[in-house]
Chains A and B, each alone.
Chain A
Amino acid sequence: DGGITQSPKYLFRKEGQNVTLSCEQNLNHDAMYWYRQDPGQGLRLIYYSQIVNDFQKGDIAEGYSVSREKKESFPLTVTSAQKNPTAFYLCASSPRTGANEKLFFGSGTQLSVL
């Protein structure tokens, strides 16, 4: 089945620790995105990538880092600099970036702080 796989489903971070959220897609999509969702809030864009080895900051990139070494993979690292990391993280992809492109979402990772 084609789709986007996020792992783990739940993740706990200790103080001062970096954690990495995995996102893999087999849809052959060029564009991939990371969003953060807080309770009762919409989705806020963290980073996005339009092509391998290239990515751009979104609206709330501070405290996060990404890489795009392969077309299929777009991992997100939540660094210790992110002081309020508890949120639901969603990875998405689209065939390209552009006005008519709908987003396909993974099932999400719930990150909590211990």
Chain B
Amino acid sequence: QKEVEQNSGPLSVPEGAIASLNCTYSDRGSQSFFWYRQYSGKSPELIMSIYSNGDKEDGRFTAQLNKASQYVSLLIRDSQPSDSATYLCAVFSGGYQKVTFGTGTKLQVIP
């Protein structure tokens, strides 16, 4: 089992819709969870971090964490074509003391 799993996509949504990106992780000792956005040929940039169960909202972005189910998600409301990118889920594992990245989900927002 991979440490951090994401559906590679592409996930296609129409402009204005809600995009839902999902991530599961294997280490129950994981402490911190991050979503990075990466445009093609560019470096990742952090868009959300979440550390406790529940929802965390920042503008159009909402991160959701469920530690019992070992599941973290990112919702993007009112999706824009500029949101088209690959979204990387990253997990800090207390057991491994390092950040592990998923393979990323490619999001395409169709105008």
Instruction: Determine which residue in B41, B43, B99 has the highest number of CB atoms from chain A within 10 A of its CB, and name it.
Output: B43
- Binding site of B, secondary structure by majority: helix, strand, loop or mixed? strand
B interface, how many residues as a size bin? 20 to 34
Cβ of A97 within 8 Å of any chain B Cβ, yes or no, is yes
Cβ of B80 within 8 Å of any chain A Cβ, yes or no, is no
- Least Cβ–Cβ distance between A70 and chain B, in angstroms: 22
Chain A residue numbers with a CB within 8 Å of B51 are: 99-100
- CB <8 Å contact, A99 and B103: no
Report the Cα distance A105→B97, complex, angstroms. Answer: 19
- Least Cβ–Cβ distance between A7 and chain B, in angstroms: 14
Cβ of B46 within 8 Å of any chain A Cβ, yes or no, is yes
Chain A residue numbers with a CB within 8 Å of B94 are: 99
Cβ of A45 within 8 Å of any chain B Cβ, yes or no, is yes
- Residue in B closest to A100 when the chains form the complex, CB atoms: B32
Report the Cα distance A43→B3, complex, angstroms. Answer: 13
Report the Cα distance A107→B98, complex, angstroms. Answer: 22
Chain B residue numbers with a CB within 8 Å of A102 are: 34, 46, 49
Point out the residue from B8, B43, B88 that lies within 8 Å of A107, measured CB to CB.
B43
Cβ of A2 within 8 Å of any chain B Cβ, yes or no, is no
- CB <8 Å contact, A43 and B88: yes
Report the Cα distance A45→B98, complex, angstroms. Answer: 9
Point out the residue from A40, A97, A100, A103 that lies within 8 Å of B103, measured CB to CB.
A40
- Least Cβ–Cβ distance between A93 and chain B, in angstroms: 12
Cβ of A34 within 8 Å of any chain B Cβ, yes or no, is no
Chain B residue numbers with a CB within 8 Å of A42 are: 4, 6, 88, 101-104
Residues 43-77 of A at the B interface (beta carbon under 8 Å): 43-45, 48, 58
Chain B residue numbers with a CB within 8 Å of A107 are: 42-43
- Residue in B closest to A4 when the chains form the complex, CB atoms: B43
- Least Cβ–Cβ distance between B105 and chain A, in angstroms: 10
Residues of B whose CB lies within 8 Å of any CB of A are 4, 6, 8, 31-32, 34, 36, 41-46, 49, 51, 88, 90, 92, 94, 97-104
The 6 closest A-B pairs by CB, nearest first: A105-B43, A42-B101, A99-B31, A42-B103, A43-B101, A99-B32
Q: What are 10 A-to-B residue pairs whose CB atoms are below 8 Å?
A: A42-B6, A42-B101, A45-B99, A45-B100, A97-B97, A99-B32, A100-B32, A100-B49, A105-B45, A108-B41
